[in-house]
Amino acid sequence: MTRRSPAPAIEIDASARQPLGMPPAEFLRDYWQKRPLLIRNAFAGFVSPLEPEDLAGLACEEAALSRLITYDRARDAWSVRHGPFAEEEFPGLGDHDWTLLVQDVDKWDADVAALLPAFDFIPRWRIDDVMISFAATGGSVGAHVDQYDVFLLQGQGHRRWQIDAGPNPPTAFRDDVDIKLLREFTPTHDWVLGPGDMLYLPPGVPHHGVAEDPCLTFSIGMRAPSAAELMGDYIDTLAADADETLRYGDADLTPPKDANEIDEAAMRRVIEALNVLRMSDPDRLGDWFGRFITLYRSAGEAVPSDDGRSRIEIEWDLRQGFILQRHPWTRMAWRRGKRGASLYAAGQVYALPVRDAQAIAASAAFDGTAYSALSERGRDAIFELLQGGHYQLLEPGDPS
């Protein structure tokens, strides 16, 4: 009789040497997009880089994406409001059953963004944002399901997480609330997470988190465009670039049995006409995807610079200790091609040597030495991106 290998553990302890509790390759093989995992002490001794009042202040900003979810236990009723909020609203919310959520906190706070290198075992272009929630005691967003991978890192306080890791869990939504909450939820696992504990959930796993006490939770979510979103953008790109002379043709037409019928031969010709438009060139297809994914789900964008400084002046400043800091909303990725590489930055593409594309995509900032190490084409790309607002020139010691 063949022995079955035991199923991978659903709860493990991390260590300083292995924050995932295992080598990254093992995590990707056994858990990524396959099964949930609770990692105790994934960030041992974790100290939150921001306080609840900092999150509340950010939720008052016009440009921040924030939500306030409250629960009325007596009526089993949920309500959701979108920011920005006024500072004076928060003291009146009470001490239980509400949650404040703010998206893209990594774009606003460099200390929060500093968490992301810990997830470099996943392609950076797959990571969407760090959403942070503050929940008063009993605060929750209800039992729900996400269609993307997420790491839920406990920052302050304690949160009880329940998940349904069973096969084919029910995923129908309630029709009496404004948010997508599950109509049925039967947990198979129940844990309380403290600071530094982290729960990984693949897409489609129902889960429910409730604050045991006032707490902060960091959600590192992935970008996972739906097939419909990919197809929509892909088709738009094909249509925009299509040659008008490429049309449906039927040079092989023969007299039809029924002039009103769309017959099999006609459908074969339709398929042929569509196939002519398909991107068969890997570089062209790669450029489409690179532009798409560096724009996908972006809640903000860089604004072109109007300071009028010349390239000579900027390069002089870099030699004097200034740095070029990438705009937090500007996403980058790169791809090898037949000749060199392509750098993708906020939907734009630049043909560069591989070394330049790697360096620019990997670096949040360039000082004079790093800038000088780029080729002429690399420096051209940096200057063009600076003019587009994708970099900011900062004086030495400027924290902004």
The whole-number pLDDT of residue 279 equals 78
The whole-number pLDDT of residue 307 equals 74
Tell how strand 11-13 and strand 37-40 pair up: parallel
CA distances from 324 to 68, 114, 367, 387 (A): 36, 18, 6, 12
The residue extents of the domains of the chain are 11-222, 227-278, 311-394
Give the single-character DSSP code of 396: T
**Model confidence, pTM:** 0.92
Say how far residue 96 (Cα) sits from the centre of its chain: 30
**What is the residue whose two structure tokens read 């080598």?**
23
**Dihedral of the alpha carbons of 117, 121, 122, 123, in degrees to the nearest 10:** 80
H-helix segments, the chain = 24-30, 52-59, 105-108, 110-113, 227-241, 264-277, 282-293, 311-319, 354-362, 368-372, 376-387
Token pair recorded at residue 76:
């089993």
DSSP characters for 55-106?
A: HHHHHTSTTS-EEEEEEETTTTEEEEEES---GGGGGGG-SBSEEEEES-HH
Q: Identical fold at 11-222 and 311-394?
A: no
Angstrom distance (rounded) from CA 285 to CA 132: 35
The whole-number pLDDT of residue 194 equals 98
Tell which CATH architecture fits domain 311-394. Answer: 3-Layer(aba) Sandwich (3.40)
The whole-number pLDDT of residue 241 equals 82
Spatial CB neighbours of 72, under 8 Å, sequence gap ≥ 6: 78, 79, 97
Q: Is the dihedral of CA 131, 300, 179, 95 positive or negative?
A: positive
Residues in the chain: 400
Amino acid occupying residue 85: F
Task: For residue 106, count other CB atoms closer than 10 A to its CB.
Answer: 22
Angstrom distance (rounded) from CA 139 to CA 209: 8
The whole-number pLDDT of residue 1 equals 53
Token pair recorded at residue 74:
């007596």
The whole-number pLDDT of residue 178 equals 85
The whole-number pLDDT of residue 400 equals 57
The whole-number pLDDT of residue 274 equals 86
Fold for the domain defined by 11-222: Jelly Rolls (2.60.120)
Give the single-character DSSP code of 174: P
Angstrom distance (rounded) from CA 301 to CA 127: 17
CB-neighbour burial class of residue 104 (10 A; exposed 0-12, middle 13-18, buried 19+) = buried
- What residues in the chain have per-residue pLDDT under 70? 1-5, 399-400
Nearest to 331 by CA among 357, 356, 364, 359: 364
Buried b vs exposed e over 13-45: b needs ≥16 C-beta within 10 Å? Answer: ebeeebbbbbeeeebeeebeeebbbbbbbbbee
The whole-number pLDDT of residue 5 equals 65
- DSSP, collapsed to helix, strand or coil, labels residue 54 as helix
